[in-house]
Amino acid sequence: MSIESLGHLESKLQNLIDKLELTRMELEELRTTNGRLEQENTELKNELGSWTERVGALLGKLDKVSDDAEQVDYETA
């Protein structure tokens, strides 16, 4: 194997090592982003659950008011 061939091989290996290091850095960044997004998703699910409960309670109150209004109408009729 000639010196030129070894130099070419060394260059290719260095390129691969550089690409591997970049890929590792990107992977770490993606893992960090994924963790943040999972946490945000959990918070949003909790918030949605809270809002769902509040809307349900308000709808229950509206149903009660509607039922009470119907009873008043029947009693006055």
Q: What is the pLDDT of residue 76?
A: 65
Going from the C-alpha of 76 to that of each of 8, 32, 67, 69, 71, the distances in angstroms are: 99, 66, 14, 11, 9
Residues 9, 36: Cα–Cα separation, whole Å: 41
pLDDT value of residue 73: 65
pLDDT along the chain (77 residues), means of 10: 91 98 98 98 98 96 81 66
| pTM: predicted TM-score of the whole model, two decimal places | 0.64
pLDDT at residue number 10: 96
Note the pLDDT of residue 57.
Answer: 96
